Structure 1
Amino acid sequence: MAGSFCHLVRSPWFLVVIGLVVVSLPGAVTYDALDPDGKIMIRWDIISWTGDGYTATVNIINTQQYRGIRSYRLGWKWAKKEIIWTMQGAQATEQGDCTRHPTNPPPHSCSLTPAIIDLLPGQPYNLQSANCCRDGVIAAAALDPKNSVSTFQITVGNTGVTNTTINIPQKLTLGSPGPGYTCSALKKVTQTKFPSSDGKRTTQAYVTWNATCQYSQNIAHPAPVCCVSISAFYSPKIVPCPDCACNCPPKSTTPGPHALAGTDQTCIAPNDQQALQNALLKEKKPPSLFCTKDMCPVKIHWHLKENYKQYWRAKMTITNRNLQVNYTNWNLVVQHPNFVNFTRAFSFTEKSLTPYGDIANDTAMFWGVKYYNDMLMQAGPEGNVQSEVLFAKDSTFTLRNGWGFPSHVYFNGDLCILPDPSDYPSLPNGSSKLRGGLALLVCTLVSFAVSLTSLF
């Protein structure tokens, strides 16, 4: 019995179930079974002392494999009445009350609870620091490791001037751009060492503080943000996203924007183009997304497209129904047992993820090709990206019981809602090896229907 339990605990599916259970706990910091070591680390290195304080380099380091940050907003509470004299590579959103410091120029910020944001690209050299000036975008570690760190430099005044008299900033917060991350307290750790440019000498920070921030989808979003619809070449049935997957649609069918229950958002019918244009021009708060039965801002469609002798093929389409958001550097994570035999993605970049070490290889991450489809545009004709994926067959291949469809799908790190497996398309006559002329005919008809419906 004990051996069986230990085998169960080591199973990747056990980890997934545990992760989903933790997600369901109100206010819990999510354990991500696909990225158990993923986090945001805040490293605060004091590199020099000043007359009334210090200069520090602050690094925001993303070790999450597939979850990036669209636009960071880092905040904290000063322990006493510290001020920010200057900043490079970032800026405080408010100056605060600096009447106690009548200097010229005045301090950069005297707020007791500063909020720090990144600078836009193209800043003058004297305002930059290393790894800055990307408008707060911090890439996922697996997608773009070189841009998974953001850095700024800060000169702090009205504080201690030795490593025993300074006070640690308190109550760290990280927004991206809204809530979602829960941060630990900054703690003093072993000082960071910095190699010289020639690599022959090292220096070290006077003081180093570290904190970690963990993501929770439950905190970030009151409801899911994406859903999955499916279809297959062997059936005319298209299984849509579940009704009310992300929210329930408004009951009104009159033209114009409609309020969404429990939110401050509105939606508008996809085919109501005139009302949409009027709303975008005249409404104080334009509609947020298209009205659909599932009310999800993002829809992923998985079409099981072809069954060859030695390979099988699927098509993935990502549709953005959000009227106000472009998804820069989007990514999609898919779990399927046949990723161990993954062969090729035709229009996306792909990387295998191995969250369970050598136990399984059933997870892959996809993202856009740079300068081609790495930005998912807001709702409209350009608001979708798609690619076909090819798999080699092995002895586990079957078309029975929905095996050809993914078990989990994540968009930008958030878990998407899948249809009920009992609704999946059924094989005609129970065949698990459908192919030939009938398959080709059905495939053509279904592909045509999918192309018409995948826009919304």
Structure 2
Amino acid sequence: MFKECAIGANGHQKLLYLCAILLFMACSHSSEAFDPLDPFGNITIKWDVMSWTPDGYVASVTMNNYQMYRHIMTPGWTLGWTWAKKEVIWSIVGAQATEQGDCSKFKGNVPHCCKKSPTVVDMLSGVPYNQQFANCCKGGVVASWGQDPLAAVSAFQISVGLAGTSNKTVKLPKDFVLLGPGPGYTCGPAKIVPSTVFFTPDHRRKTQVLMTWTVTCTYSQFLASKYPTCCVSFSSFYNQTITPCPSCACGCHNKNDCIMSDSKKLSTKGVNTPRKDNAPLLQCTHHMCPIRVHWHVKINYRDYWRAKIAITNFNYRLNYTQWTLVAQHPNLNNITQVFSFDYKPLVPYQSINDTGMFYGMKFYNDLLMEAGPVGNVQSEILLRKDKTTFTLKQGWAFPRKIYFNGDECKLPPPDSYPYLPNSAFGVLPPAPFIIAMVVTNEQAFFHEDGA
């Protein structure tokens, strides 16, 4: 197509414009799910045929989350596909189909699911031992690879009937759909790959499965929601001005259903209960975002500087489990200490170390509670100055990008950042003045109005 465009566009300007538009659309579509901070991130679903049965096979289905900072939180993943023939699911261990479908043609032994396009979900923890499978039964919650590689996997075993009993007669399922726990993932076609090799339980002998195919799913924030899901606000010790989240940063489509922080409705029974459609119940704010991240430039030392990060939840219906926060800033290559979050540098390109992931300490602050008095987590970071680049001028001390749970947050426009007063170019104000300013700023940005 593009070759024909190039040839025909020599004397036709309109055709050239049309070709340019087509090229742009093609490139945009192919890069929809590309994340420059996690260029190789994906979820890979692998089917390993372990044995043949009289009318089909038994397979182990493993879901590996190779995304560095995007995890699947409650209510967990949902996996669907369409059978290539008239297959049925005789049984599943470690998961279950959401519907059985029409199995009326079967007498006696009835399949677990007869739907042409089944939908499967993970089991909850606490199921009987004989219904469990390795890496199953976590309610569909899957950690990100960067946060916890051992927990970044989910699996179940499936027995498929009416499917063929050899590599030549089995047809691969198609049209895979992954939801986790909302839309956003796009899955490619199943592809046959070399059979998985593994060790026997005594680790003395290698064996391999009978057949393996994989499916790769990638995430696109644009497909997940046309609105951002978080926003960022700024403040600093050298300026009393607080730069708030942009108005309607996450869209104002929820403004008619929000609740004021002092509303009596908050004492209503069930107000914090999640809904099946995951619809939020937001605190009324000017930004109307479920999550606000605040970055406060706190102190400037001779060789170091200090920033404070606070994450506030404005959604009354959702606790954020195993949350992650990714920041991009040129001085993160010299981060010295993180005081109450865990931290891991992310280096998508070997020559650049300007991106890092913050996440909660296990059993301490890895759960971000719903909106209310305890609906926030916070930490401070200490960074060593790079003498060649460090400055407080022109908003340099503020992050270039912020992601929460893998979604990019809306930042204020650069011309609204707290500016450095002229007097600050020389000697900094005395310590008591700085401390008073910090206290004032922190009280302001923790105020419930969500500024």
Query: Do they superpose with TM above 0.5?
Result: yes
Quote how far apart the aligned CAs of 1:247 are: 0.7
Q: Give the root-mean-square deviation of aligned CA atoms.
A: 2.3
Q: Distance in 2 between matches of 1:362 and 1:281?
A: 41
SS of the residue aligned with 1:422? helix
Structure 1 residues 339 and 454: alpha-carbon distance in aligned structure 2, compared to 1, 3 A threshold = farther
Which position in structure 2 is the counterpart of 1:7?
none
Q: Distance in 2 between matches of 1:27 and 1:290?
A: 37
Structure 1 residues 54 and 287: alpha-carbon distance in aligned structure 2, compared to 1, 3 A threshold = closer
Quote how far apart the aligned CAs of 1:325 are: 1.1
Q: Distance in 1 between matches of 2:217 and 2:282?
A: 30
| Aligned amino acid, residue 276 of structure 1 | L
Q: After the TM superposition, which residues 363-382 of structure 1 pair with which residues of structure 2 at under 5 Å, given as runs? A: 363-382=355-374
Which position in structure 2 is the counterpart of 1:293?
286
Which position in structure 2 is the counterpart of 1:17?
none
Q: Distance in 2 between matches of 1:279 and 1:84?
A: 40
The TM-score, its normalising length taken from structure 1, stands at 0.87
Which position in structure 2 is the counterpart of 1:351?
344
On the 8 A contact 1:68/1:412 being kept in 2, the answer is yes
Unaligned runs of 5+ in 1: 1-20, 251-257, 260-265
On the 8 A contact 1:343/1:390 being kept in 2, the answer is yes
Which position in structure 2 is the counterpart of 1:15?
none
Which position in structure 1 is the counterpart of 2:376?
384
Structure 1 residues 282 and 327: alpha-carbon distance in aligned structure 2, compared to 1, 3 A threshold = closer
| Aligned amino acid, residue 277 of structure 1 | S
Task: Say which of 107, 116, 128 aligns to 1:102.
Answer: 107
1:56 aligns with 2:54: no
Task: Say which of 445, 448, 451 aligns to 2:443.
Answer: 448
On the 8 A contact 1:344/1:390 being kept in 2, the answer is yes
- Point out the more displaced range, 276-285 or 222-231: 276-285
Quote how far apart the aligned CAs of 1:308 are: 1.2
| Aligned amino acid, residue 341 of structure 1 | N
| Aligned amino acid, residue 87 of structure 1 | I
Which position in structure 2 is the counterpart of 1:6?
none
Quote how far apart the aligned CAs of 1:77 are: 0.5
On the 8 A contact 1:268/1:287 being kept in 2, the answer is no
SS of the residue aligned with 1:134? coil
1:393 aligns with 2:385: yes
On the 8 A contact 2:309/2:379 being kept in 1, the answer is yes
| Aligned amino acid, residue 61 of structure 1 | N
- Point out the more displaced range, 434-443 or 359-368: 434-443
Task: Say which of 38, 42, 47 aligns to 1:39.
Answer: 42
Q: Distance in 2 between matches of 1:345 and 1:281?
A: 35
Cα offsets for 1:60-119 (capped at 9, x unmatched):
011110011121101000112111111111111111111111224x21111111111101
Quote how far apart the aligned CAs of 1:28 are: 5.8
Q: After the TM superposition, which residues 313-324 of structure 1 pair with which residues of structure 2 at under 5 Å, given as runs? A: 313-324=306-317
Q: After the TM superposition, which residues 252-263 of structure 1 pair with which residues of structure 2 at under 5 Å, given as runs? A: 259=256
SS of the residue aligned with 1:36? coil
Q: Distance in 1 between matches of 2:78 and 2:450?
A: 33
Structure 1 residues 284 and 130: alpha-carbon distance in aligned structure 2, compared to 1, 3 A threshold = closer
Q: Distance in 1 between matches of 2:39 and 2:31?
A: 15
Cα offsets for 1:259-294 (capped at 9, x unmatched):
3xxxxxx2222232x133348569998962112111
Cα offsets for 1:222-281 (capped at 9, x unmatched):
21100000100111111110011111267xxxxxxx63xxxxxx2222232x13334856
Which position in structure 2 is the counterpart of 1:277?
267
Q: Distance in 1 between matches of 2:429 and 2:272?
A: 54
Which position in structure 2 is the counterpart of 1:85?
90
Cα offsets for 1:349-392 (capped at 9, x unmatched):
000111111x1111110100111110111111111101011111
1:236 aligns with 2:240: yes
SS of the residue aligned with 1:139? coil
Which position in structure 2 is the counterpart of 1:5?
none
Quote how far apart the aligned CAs of 1:27 are: 9.3
Q: Distance in 2 between matches of 1:283 and 1:54?
A: 41
Q: Distance in 1 between matches of 2:355 and 2:35?
A: 13
Which position in structure 2 is the counterpart of 1:132?
136
Q: Distance in 1 between matches of 2:31 and 2:407?
A: 15
Which position in structure 2 is the counterpart of 1:161?
165
**Identical pairs, percent:** 49
| Aligned amino acid, residue 208 of structure 1 | T
Q: Distance in 2 between matches of 1:93 and 1:224?
A: 30
On the 8 A contact 2:274/2:317 being kept in 1, the answer is no
Q: Distance in 1 between matches of 2:362 and 2:274?
A: 35
Task: Say which of 412, 417, 423 aligns to 1:419.
Answer: 412
Unaligned runs of 5+ in 2: 1-23
Structure 1 residues 414 and 88: alpha-carbon distance in aligned structure 2, compared to 1, 3 A threshold = same
| Aligned amino acid, residue 380 of structure 1 | G
1:335 aligns with 2:339: no
Which position in structure 2 is the counterpart of 1:30?
33
- State how many pairs are aligned: 419
Quote how far apart the aligned CAs of 1:134 are: 0.5
Which position in structure 2 is the counterpart of 1:208?
212
Quote how far apart the aligned CAs of 1:33 are: 0.5
On the 8 A contact 1:29/1:214 being kept in 2, the answer is no
Quote how far apart the aligned CAs of 1:447 are: 2.7
Quote how far apart the aligned CAs of 1:198 are: 2.6
1:198 aligns with 2:207: no
Structure 1 residues 435 and 103: alpha-carbon distance in aligned structure 2, compared to 1, 3 A threshold = farther
SS of the residue aligned with 1:419? coil
Which position in structure 1 is the counterpart of 2:250?
246
Structure 1 residues 200 and 280: alpha-carbon distance in aligned structure 2, compared to 1, 3 A threshold = closer
Quote how far apart the aligned CAs of 1:451 are: 3.4
